[in-house]
């Protein structure tokens, strides 16, 4: 008997042989304990499982364990909406700085102006004053 499990390391689906106790993910090498793993589909026919697996466009959707996260079509719009819901002014600034800087750790004045044209100036001033960001170069803000 074979089954499909989701790798607990990288989340990708794979077919396992249920007669063996353990196997390693070919993608991330994380070992799975077959007795403990949640088996999503069982079949004596390995080919059938592979077909089912490869035909998946979205493994998450197929296994419908958790509803797919609502997709924000525009991350900038998502940020603006999120900011509207934060009432604490300091937390609001910190959140904006965090999202705008992302992984690169800095953002540009124009990026905030594009999002919140009315408030950008005041927000940047407050961010600098509160030590959330500093301005290493004019118009460029580095998160602290």
| Cβ-contact 134, 105 below 8 angstroms | no
Instruction: Indicate whether 15 belongs to the interface with Zn ion (CB under 5 A).
Output: no
Write down the least CB distance from residue 129 to Zn ion, Å: 46
How much of the chain is in helix, strand and coil states, percent to nearest 5? Answer: 40, 20, 40
- What are the residues whose beta carbons fall under 8 Å from the beta carbon of 98, sequence distance 6 or more? 143
> Contact 12/25 with Cβ under 8 angstroms?
yes
Is the CB of residue 99 less than 8 Å from the CB of residue 106?
A: no
Based on CB atoms, which residue is closest to Zn ion, 34 or 140?
A: 34
Please identify, among the stretches 17-25, 38-46, 62-70, 101-109, the one whose residues bind Zn ion according to the rule CB under 5 A: 17-25
Query: Which residue stretch of 3-11, 96-104, 111-119, 128-136 sits at the interface with Zn ion (rule: CB under 5 A)?
Result: 3-11
Binding mask 20-49 for Zn ion (x = CB under 5 A): -----x-xx-x-------------------
Count of positions (residues) in the chain: 144
Measured over the CA atoms of residue 125, residue 127, residue 130 and residue 133, the dihedral's sign is negative
x/- track of binding to Zn ion for residues 104-133 (CB under 5 A):
------------------------------
Comparing CB distances to Zn ion, the nearer of 5 and 7 is 7
Residues that bind Zn ion (CB under 5 A): 7, 9-10, 25, 27-28, 30
């Amino acid at each position: 008997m074979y089954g499909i499990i989701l790798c607990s390391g990288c989340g990708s689906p794979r077919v396992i042989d249920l007669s063996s106790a353990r196997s390693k993910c070919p993608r991330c090498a994380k070992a799975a304990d077959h007795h403990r793993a949640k088996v999503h589909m069982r079949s004596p026919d390995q080919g059938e499982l592979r077909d089912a697996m490869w035909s998946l466009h979205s493994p998450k959707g197929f296994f419908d364990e958790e509803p797919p996260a609502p997709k924000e079509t525009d991350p900038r719009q998502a940020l603006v909406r999120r900011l509207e819901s934060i009432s604490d002014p300091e937390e609001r600034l910190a959140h904006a700085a965090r999202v705008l800087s992302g992984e690169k750790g800095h953002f540009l004045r124009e990026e905030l102006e594009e999002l919140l044209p009315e408030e950008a100036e005041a927000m940047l001033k407050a961010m600098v004053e509160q030590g959330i960001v500093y301005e290493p170069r004019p118009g460029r803000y580095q998160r602290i």
